[in-house]
Amino acid sequence: MRSSAAFGPDPHPASERVAALGLDDLETLLASGELTSEELTRGLLDRIEALDGAGTAIALHAVIALAADAVPTAARRDAERAAGRSRGRLHGVPILVKDNIEAAGLPGTAGSLALAGRTVVADAPLVARLRDAGAVVMGATNLSEWANFRSPRSTSGWSAVGGLTGNPWALDRSAGGSSSGSGAAVAAGYAPVAIGTETNGSITCPAALNGVVGFKPTVGTVPTRGVVPISASQDSPGPLARSVRDAALVLEVLSGRTDLMAACASGSAAPLVVGVAAGWLSGDAETDACFARAVELIEPLVAEIRPADVPVTPDDVHHDQTAVLVGEFVDDLDAYLSARPGSGARSMADVVAFNLANADTELGFFDQHYLEQAVLSGGRRALAYTEARARNVAWARDVAVGPALGGGIDLLVAPAYRPAWKSDLAHGDLLVGGGAVCTPAAILGWPILTVPIGLVRGLPVAMAITGPPLSESLLVAVGSALEDALGGPFAQRQHPAWRPPARG
């Protein structure tokens, strides 16, 4: 078990020894009685209190709210363990969930003040599965407001409820989006696992930028009921964790699958043909060189490495995808808000009106263009939606990835994103680089596994691995082999530098 000394800038003593540990190490400590779940939960809560909010040492703003019942729940898990009972593979393990996922007692605001005060009274099915497996839901993480689908000028990691999430590697750099707080929290040692959601890049991006593993499963694999929606055709919840093994374990709990942990075994990747998607390189020379070295590491561990011919995504594909998302967003959010208990916004039109009435807090940095566009779109009934969705699927299936996999390639790999860019509330995310792997996978509902592969200019970069629907076990096999070839989980080898803000 590795020491986590000097893991943070001034780590709270109660959490220092566990801040970088993965689930296997924590399970060993909990099972042996060397550490109780209550001690672990208290230590991590203390760490969050010491490092996260306004006036703290760092003000990372990765967490929106803490669960009032976290410590009592952890104490119950200890009592159950002492009595010889275990709820499952996450028994007594503290986790965090993105604040667009309903967890009883937590805000569930999606970062918007329009939902503040409508505290959640019941768990989303995915949260119920975590609790059934023994997890202690410790709090809710910050996110890009409305899961980063409010404005083309948005700044990733900012919400009116939670403020701007920082990146623990460099505090003036982006934590990505929209699962910003989930990625930053795991990297910062707040919890071994956090749950995020992805519509297009929202797990992949923050995992890559914060140096943690991210796993977006096949759309439909994890239930989305109780998750504030954008798009039924693209939304997918999944874990951000410290290792491929940890992410695989949690995804088994979330999805009910039983084949992912086995895929971590040595040799599991040996039969696979991996396609290198050169058309999806990041454009950053050092990032792409780091990716090339990672490909060299996995080459002897798989059956074959081949070049995969994938196209650059044209602008019209992005325009069509926006038309699809605004059409689904208005229908799905209207249905969600009308059914959610409590007073306040009951439709997207209500949210738009609320933001206009509270422009000083909600619209001070960027507009709500996508919300306004969605209200006027006509939803799924509009011909523009139907035609855009058909074009999107045809491009993704027949042009982007179909030909690449047609020659016997099992999976595709590419750099995930460039290193984290500067957060800029004045201009938004103008310097985002990479992420090309996400769009065709988003349109088709494919899974993506993101594995850290090194540091570029002191900031993490990652490989993204994607494949056809329900190919998660193949992704795990290659991701786990890569992680082993690199010397073990990145989060236990490399600790965030907590670099202070700097000019330039």
Q: What is the largest CA-CA distance in the chain?
A: 62
State which amino acid sits at residue 411: L
Q: Is 133 left (phi over 0), alpha (psi -120 to 50) or beta?
A: alpha
Marked catalytic residue, from 202, 236, 243, 268: 202
Would you call 98 a catalytic residue per the annotation? yes
Catalytic residue among 37, 98, 182, 231: 98
Strand partners, 339: none
Residues 103-128: b if buried by 16+ CB within 10 A, e if exposed: bbbbbbbbbbbbbeebbbeebbbbbb
Which element (helix H / strand E) includes 74? helix 70-82
How far is it, in rounded angstroms, from Cα 126 to Cα 154?
28
Residue 489 identity: P
**Side chain identity, residue 53:** G
Strand partners, 308: 277
Is residue 255 part of the annotated active site? The answer reads no
C-beta of residue 202 within 8 angstroms of C-beta of residue 230: no
Query: Mutual orientation of helices 244-255 and 125-132 as an angle, nearest 10°?
Result: 110
Q: Of 144, 178, 179, 377, which one is the catalytic site residue?
A: 178
Backbone dihedral angles phi then psi of residue 304, each to the nearest 5 degrees: -165, 145
The Cβ of residue 499 has, within 10 Å, a number of other Cβ atoms equal to 16
Q: How many CB atoms lie within 10 A of CB 430?
A: 11
Number of neighbours of residue 153 by Cβ within 10 angstroms: 14
Kindly state the tokens that stand for 246.
């940890």
Q: How many CB atoms lie within 10 A of CB 355?
A: 23
First-residue to last-residue Cα distance in the chain: 38
**What DSSP character marks residue 421?**
P
186 burial level (CB within 10 Å; 0-12, 13-18, 19+): buried
Task: Report d(CA 15, CA 134) in Å as an integer.
Answer: 21
Q: 16 phi and psi, to 5 degrees?
A: -60, -45
Place of tokens 């002897």: 300
The secondary element (H helix, E strand) that includes residue 137 is strand 136-141
DSSP-based three-state secondary structure for 43: helix
Name the H helices within 230-284.
244-255
What dihedral do alpha carbons 344, 350, 351, 352 form, nearest 10°? -150
Please answer whether residues 368 and 388 qualify as being in contact, where contact means their C-beta atoms are separated by less than 8 angstroms: no
Positions marked catalytic: 98, 178, 202
